Structure 1
Amino acid sequence: MATVAATGIFSERSIRRARLGSGLVMFVFVLLHLSNHALGLISVSAADDGRRIFLAIWRNPVGTLVFYTAVLTHVCLVLRAVYTRRSLVMPAGEMAQLVLGLSIPLLLMDHVIGTRIAHSLFQYRDDYETIVRLLWVTSPGAGWRQVIALLFVWTHGCIGVHFWLRYRSWYDGVAAMLLAVAILLPVLAILGFIEMGRTIAEPAYEGMVNTDRYRDNLNTRYYSNPEAQQQIAMIRAGLYGSFSGALLIVIGARTLRRWRERVDQITVRYPGGEAISVPRGFTVLEASRLGGLLHYSVCGGKGQCSTCRVQILSDGDDLPAPDKLEQSTLKRIKAASDVRLACQLRPTHDITVAPLLVAAPETTLPPNTQETSPGREREITVLFCDIRHFTSLTETRLPFDIVFLLNRYFALVGNAVEKAGGRIDKFIGDGAMALFGIGNSAEDACRQAIEAAVTIVRDIGKLDAELRDELTMPLHIAIGIHTGPAVVGTLGYGRVRSVTAIGDTVNVASRLETAAKEFNAAIVISDAVANLAGADTASVESREISVRGRALPLKVYVISSDKAADLIEGKDT
């Protein structure tokens, strides 16, 4: 059953959502701030005009409350995450995000104090002319420190957004564009800062603009009043001290907990004979990482996927019950009662587990890298095709003749699939498997698969007419098409790796190709494919077939060679 903590306002899911929400608020702030800097490529006055819009959003009472609440929430939750994480062994991307995140407050505090706090307390005018003059002319070292801080903030935010979106079905389609923006925006912002600095540093600039406002700004009570300077120094010491103290408290608490846990350890054993001793309270995934074992975890240990799942091989009756998040994931994959998520299971005693998705122990894949990811689930359409009676067709042919025939056949299949927008997955003997929908919608994928199938049937007819005098029997094709969820990822060994799909959808498509042979038909498509493609099936024969592993029969449409073209014509009308 779910624990109270898993269902209340302070559940892990709620905490993750708060961390994500606060991070997104800060990311939008940084996005707009960098865009404002980029206006410096036009002129200093253009940047100041953009600054007024920026301040209208963030320096009103509501914007101020939202932003600084987000900052405080995010910093507190990051420190909490550092404490609760039992092992600091993690993939490189997660480590980079953590290190960048902890360094950002130390890099930005002086900038915040010199702008927002000085403005609020002493009416210091923190416009672009003043701040850029300070960072480019007066204190160039501080200016380059801000450039580094800008890159750290933006990189940290982009990593977080990538981790959040990377397994959305639509993300691959926009990833290239987002990467271009992620690279271009900080470059434009830095160039804008440099251009403004060079402009203000020019001697001629003094004569081009009225710099009295800048001198007046320097003579405000912020600079001329020693008490104001002392107050700012106290604020600076307080902010740096508070953050550094909080970080030291977290480190101290982790050290104390580790010291106490040395006398209270459990052992996690694996089928290969590995035995890893970890403090009680560690997750199985943390134990695997601490021991240097390859262990899949696509979502980064957040319980949002099932790739880290393990089977409990020892007594599991008194293990902690799965919380609501883990229950939801296990229910979705219809896991057996002895299967748990390694990232959520915190054993209270010695335990033996077997990872159900085993990573290949290749020397080219270091432990805990994202390269060991098995892929992601997508909605795709799968096409299988095969030459009917191929053995009888070629039993009297010379091997070179068979190679010639297969190459002609593979060429027309590959051409039909690629022109329709799909990709050839593999050729097996005289069979072929093609995937549609890797980067587009399910509806488009189904239409593309049908279009490819119709083209294959047509071109096989042409090839049959061309080689009729050379063959002992006519060429006939059998094609099966099905759509649904499948895991798409890179599989293979060593250099022989390729993107492929596995799952029930692939198995059903293969079964439909076999059904096409049984029904002496050219194409068999499932009801789901017909509906998504909007195919005209009014005059097409429908049947129900049994599929191994499915309790209910599957409705399919059986299309002969002479009726194949009607599918596309019906769609167009």
Structure 2
Amino acid sequence: MAAPQLSQAPVRRLLSDRNLRTARLVSGMVLMSFVTMHLMNHALLLISLPAAETMRPWFLLIWRNPLGTVALYGSVSVHFALALLSLYRKRGLIMPMREIFQIVLGFAIPLLIAEHVIGTRVFHTLTGVEDSYRYVLRTLWVASPIGGVRQSVATIVIWVHGCLGLYFWLRYRHWYPRVAPWLLIVAVLVPVLALLGFVEGGRTIASIGATPPPINAPVIAADKQIKEMLIRSVYLGFGGLLAGVFALRALRAYRERRNLIEVRYSDGHVVRVARGYSVLEASRVGGIPHYAVCGGKGRCSTCRIKVSEGLENLPSPNSVEQATLKRLGADPDVRLACQLRPTGNVSVTPLLVPDRNRLLLPGQPVIPGREREVAVLFCDIRNFTGLADHRLPFDIVFLLNRYFAMVGKAVEQAGGRMDKFIGDGAMALFGVDTTNVEACRQALAAAAAIIRDLEQLNDDLAGEISSPLRVAIGIHAGPAIVGAMGYRDVMGVTAVGDTVNIASRLELAAKEFNATVVVSETVVQLSGLDLSTLEICDIDIRGRALPLKVRVVPQGTTLPIAAQKPAADAA
């Protein structure tokens, strides 16, 4: 009995969720590379027909050699087979519209391109007729304009489907916001230039006129019959595969109706589903809002739940879920709803907000938390309580608004964003949309601007306050969790973590040192600025085993960065 289990183990590992996801990604990247090169070759038709024909042999050199052919058609087969498998494995077809849109586009592609593929690559193999741009453009623009329209639609469908896949894969990478505008430009230009090239090439061919028929016309006619038969076979085969998947789904649903389990939610909802459904699929079947930012692929932890009853009915986490839970340091009773498929009744509590409609106002974006390298600046008015004593509320509000306007302007001009105002203090973030090196430079530039502008503010308020305003600024950089946090109209992008706590502690240290700015040595080194003239000292930070090295800007002095450039820039 042990032998069959041993033989099945490698198969299970080979077909693990992680391996299937990798295969889908790799095959998709191969196909996207082919499509991109193909469309860029089409775009050369805007220059001239000979220009496109000149580059075509290089394209064929890559994709029509034995290795390229195996890679291309192997990727087509793998990607399509995994799409069918994914459709079969989905226990319910209730899903976000973006997923439905991508699936519909994906399954529309074979129907749109079958005739084109068979009419070029396959027909070339059968007859030896060169499927050059002249041949294809004459077919699609002159002989069969409807076919040309279909291929134009196919171009858009294929490109959008591929771009959506890349977007869902890349959108939560920490560097994605920086490159997203450039990727969008490419995503728009490539298909537009290709379609414009097709139009220009078609008009050129139409102006040249028809060419005489090939010499071996009877052979060509026979091969055309084979081509038509292949096209019909592809359509029938595609329809048969889809019908087979839905038939298997129906058979599975029929068998599973006799074996239902209950998923009980902490708010009192109970959903009965067949054994094999994930908790996330149960939530969708029951119409229960459930946060799943990555679309239920196990790439995030926003769908995680706490299992309060039925722990004995939980299968072991798969490799994808295990990796995410390990990174979270989650307790044994915490699982990912998208990956957990209970074998019996369970009671669960979603750990993240299950109802986004009650959290967000219309039009507010959902920005999931992710770890980023940021610089954090805290700025606080020193001895503000003494300044506020015996003043009218209007005067206090006026004074704070002038101060906050000065700080906000300095932060925004430096490239940062104001995070929050707390009493007479302010917190600013740098690096949400840029590198940590640039973030540190921006934070130091903002601090220098605050010190400079504070002198002008004190001059403006000389008749309103008994003593000049003084500030204490703390700056630190490091990893923090950045995301949209809050409730309804007070929802905003903010950061939490040790980096924020340390920056706040440095602002308090500035008051203790009677200094204007205390900045960690980490920020100084990352910025590349020469601040060697500033005093360096060590301070103890609660929760840190070793003291933190900081630079101190005394009261009455400025941050010496305005006239200098980073070493890298100067070079």
| 1:512-523 paired onto structure 2 within 5 Å | 512-523=506-517
Match of 2:316 in 1: 321
Alignment of 1:308 onto 2:313: no
Q: 2:444 aligns with which of 447, 450, 454?
A: 450
Task: Name the SS for the 2:14 alignment partner.
Answer: coil
Match of 1:358 in 2: 353
Task: Name the SS for the 1:565 alignment partner.
Answer: coil
Alignment of 1:291 onto 2:296: no
Match of 2:190 in 1: 185
Deviation of 1:72 after TM superposition, in Å, equals 0.9
Q: 1:97 aligns with which of 99, 102, 111?
A: 102
Q: Distance in 1 between matches of 2:239 and 2:361?
A: 33
- Residue pair 1:377, 1:488 contacting (<8 A) in 2 also: yes
- Residue pair 2:137, 2:202 contacting (<8 A) in 1 also: yes
Match of 1:475 in 2: 469
Deviation of 1:18 after TM superposition, in Å, equals 0.9
Match of 1:69 in 2: 74
- Residue pair 1:294, 1:361 contacting (<8 A) in 2 also: yes
| 1:315-394 paired onto structure 2 within 5 Å | 315-362=310-357, 372-394=366-388
Task: Name the SS for the 1:522 alignment partner.
Answer: strand
| 1:258-273 paired onto structure 2 within 5 Å | 258-273=253-268
Match of 2:246 in 1: 251
Mark the CA change 1:169 to 1:197 in structure 2 (over 3 Å): closer, same or farther.
same
Q: 2:84 aligns with which of 64, 67, 79?
A: 79
Match of 2:126 in 1: 121
- Which deviates the most, 528-537 or 304-313? 528-537
Alignment of 1:422 onto 2:427: no
Deviation of 1:290 after TM superposition, in Å, equals 2.1
Q: Distance in 2 between matches of 1:103 and 1:410?
A: 55
Give the number of aligned pairs. 558
Task: Name the SS for the 1:143 alignment partner.
Answer: helix
Deviation of 1:543 after TM superposition, in Å, equals 2.6
Deviation of 1:502 after TM superposition, in Å, equals 3.3
Deviation of 1:381 after TM superposition, in Å, equals 1.4
Match of 1:410 in 2: 404
Task: Name the SS for the 1:49 alignment partner.
Answer: helix
Q: 1:52 aligns with which of 53, 57, 82?
A: 57
Task: Name the SS for the 1:362 alignment partner.
Answer: helix
Deviation of 1:7 after TM superposition, in Å, equals 8.4
Q: What RMSD, in angstroms, separates the aligned Cα atoms of the two structures?
A: 2.8
Deviation of 1:313 after TM superposition, in Å, equals 1.7
Q: Distance in 2 between matches of 1:514 and 1:366?
A: 36
Deviation of 1:87 after TM superposition, in Å, equals 2.0
- Residue pair 2:447, 2:559 contacting (<8 A) in 1 also: no
CA-to-partner distance for each residue in 1:536-570, whole Å, 9 max, x for gaps?
357524233233xx363551425233565247778
Q: Distance in 1 between matches of 2:507 and 2:219?
A: 80
Q: Distance in 2 between matches of 1:93 and 1:218?
A: 51
Task: Name the SS for the 1:199 alignment partner.
Answer: helix
- Residue pair 2:415, 2:442 contacting (<8 A) in 1 also: yes
Q: Could you tell me which amino acid in structure 1 is paired with residue 392 of structure 2?
A: L
Match of 2:176 in 1: 171
Alignment of 1:530 onto 2:494: no
- Which deviates the most, 355-364 or 433-442? 355-364
Alignment of 1:395 onto 2:389: yes
Deviation of 1:179 after TM superposition, in Å, equals 1.2
Alignment of 1:215 onto 2:212: yes
Match of 2:4 in 1: none
Deviation of 1:119 after TM superposition, in Å, equals 0.3
Q: Distance in 2 between matches of 1:527 and 1:160?
A: 41
Q: 1:501 aligns with which of 495, 504, 511?
A: 495
CA-to-partner distance for each residue in 1:267-300, whole Å, 9 max, x for gaps?
2122211112221111111222222222222222
Deviation of 1:441 after TM superposition, in Å, equals 0.9
CA-to-partner distance for each residue in 1:476-501, whole Å, 9 max, x for gaps?
21222222333333344445543333
Mark the CA change 1:564 to 1:331 in structure 2 (over 3 Å): closer, same or farther.
farther
- Which deviates the most, 150-159 or 330-339? 330-339
- Which deviates the most, 95-104 or 459-468? 459-468
Alignment of 1:552 onto 2:570: no
- Residue pair 1:457, 1:561 contacting (<8 A) in 2 also: no
Q: Distance in 1 between matches of 2:52 and 2:411?
A: 51
Deviation of 1:334 after TM superposition, in Å, equals 2.0
Mark the CA change 1:563 to 1:319 in structure 2 (over 3 Å): closer, same or farther.
farther
- Which deviates the most, 31-40 or 6-15? 6-15
The two structures have a TM-score, normalised by structure 1, of 0.90
- Residue pair 1:537, 1:567 contacting (<8 A) in 2 also: no
Q: Could you tell me which amino acid in structure 2 is paired with residue 231 of structure 1?
A: I
Q: Could you tell me which amino acid in structure 2 is paired with residue 282 of structure 1?
A: Y
CA-to-partner distance for each residue in 1:380-419, whole Å, 9 max, x for gaps?
1111111122121111223332233222211221122122
Mark the CA change 1:329 to 1:540 in structure 2 (over 3 Å): closer, same or farther.
farther
Q: Could you tell me which amino acid in structure 1 is paired with residue 45 of structure 2?
A: G
Mark the CA change 1:519 to 1:265 in structure 2 (over 3 Å): closer, same or farther.
farther
CA-to-partner distance for each residue in 1:159-211, whole Å, 9 max, x for gaps?
01111111111111121121122122212211211222222223xx23xxxx6
Task: Name the SS for the 2:309 alignment partner.
Answer: coil
Q: Distance in 1 between matches of 2:364 and 2:227?
A: 45
Mark the CA change 1:38 to 1:436 in structure 2 (over 3 Å): closer, same or farther.
same
- Residue pair 1:167, 1:376 contacting (<8 A) in 2 also: yes
Unaligned runs of 5+ in 2: 1-7
Q: Distance in 2 between matches of 1:546 and 1:453?
A: 22
